[in-house]
Homo-oligomer: A and B are copies of this chain.
């Protein structure tokens, strides 16, 4: 079990980064970082009696307005019943609007209301602030590596979905406003 091999001169490249110990460090880093990653939005959500599930719904509806319940279900990877509970409160509270599908009237297309947009922005700005600080601190090269490892960690289907999400500017139904749009937001 746990066959450990003492390596004398190293093979070709430096393989020390594949050590069980290095892997454990990475695992723990994921655990601690993810906790921090969700901490800021969680504070805001707690005030409003919402949970992480609400944040996730708001995030993906904001990113892709008009997406159907089924698509959202697929992205989030939860059951219809679980999502429905969350979605219902968001709709009741006037943060999300559910319109009957234009192509297929069985489908429901989801949109954020004004108020929903406001909350989403508040939540995601809190989350971005931490991310931005971490990015800035680590630098562009580190960020590239960060993304590369995370992508390599995903299940293949998820990764495909993730990469398709906005990798190509991709026209879904709206012709999509073109223009490269090199935007850079800052504050503080």
Contacts and interface: CB of A to CB of B under 8 A. Distances in A.
A22 B127 CA distance: 13
Contacts of A13: 140
Nearest to A14: B140
A141 B165 CA distance: 26
Contacts of A63: 24
A25 B127 CA distance: 12
Given A7-B182, A25-B147, A26-B147, A152 B133 contact: yes
A183 B6 contact: yes
Interface stretch (A29-37, A82-90, A107-115, A170-178): A29-37
Nearest to A167: B25
Contacts of A185: 2-5, 19-20
A121 B121 CA distance: 42
A143 B145 contact: yes
Nearest to A158: B32
Given A29-B162, A132-B23, A17 B143 contact: yes
A27 interface: yes
Contacts of A143: 17, 22, 26, 145, 149
A43 interface: no
A28 interface: yes
13 contacts: A3-B187, A5-B185, A6-B183, A15-B184, A22-B135, A27-B59, A27-B128, A30-B37, A32-B150, A37-B153, A39-B155, A130-B153, A146-B146
